[in-house]
Amino acid sequence: MANICIIDDDILFTDDMSYLIADAGHKCKTFRDADNVLNQLHGLDKFNMIILDIMMMRGEKLVESYSTDDTGEILHKMIRQKYPTKKIIVISAKSHKNINIDFENDRHTGFIQKPMTEDKINELLNIISKGD
C-alpha cells in the first residue's frame, strides 16, 4: 500500500483521484493550495509519491515571489531540494517542453499531460501500484 500526496487546486480532480487511489488500496492526502504544502513541507517525507499540478494559485506565501515560474514549478524545486529522490508525477495542461523542470535529468520526476483521460488515469494508477 502506497501513501500518495496530491497537490492540485482542482477540487473535482483531487476528489476523483483520491477516491480512485483509495479504491486501489492506497492512502491519499490532498493539498489544494501552495500555502498548505509549504506549511507541511517537512512532513512530505511520509509520502511514497507526490502528484503535482503545475498551474495553481500562488497563495499568500508565494504571492510576492518574483519568479516567472508557475506555482507547481516553484513547489517542485522546493520539494526536490528537501527530498532529492522523492517520486513526483507532474500533471499539467502545459506541454512538458514548456515547464521549467528538467525531466530528462531528473529520473525521479515523471509527467502526464492533461486532460486526464481514462487511459491516463489508469497509467497513473499503474505507476502508483508499481511504486515506480
The pLDDT score that the predictor gives to residue 48 is: 96
Contact 71, 58 (CB under 8 A): yes
The pLDDT score that the predictor gives to residue 84 is: 96
pLDDT over 70, % of the chain: 99
| Three-state DSSP class for residue 7 | strand
In degrees rounded to 5, what are phi and psi of residue 50?
-120, 130
- Could you report the per-residue pLDDT of 63-121, keeping only the tens digit for each? 877 788 999 999 999 999 999 999 999 999 999 999 999 999 999 999 999 999 999 99
| Three-state DSSP class for residue 43 | helix
Average pLDDT over residues 12-28: 96
Average pLDDT over residues 16-38: 95
Indicate the DSSP class of residue 62. T
Q: What are the chain's domains? A: 3-130 (3.40.50.2300)
105 contacts: CB under 8 Å, gap ≥ 6: none
The pLDDT score that the predictor gives to residue 132 is: 55
Average pLDDT over residues 44-53: 97
50 forms beta bridges with 5, 88
Query: What distance in Å separates the CA atoms of residue 129 and residue 21, rounded to the nearest whole number?
Result: 9
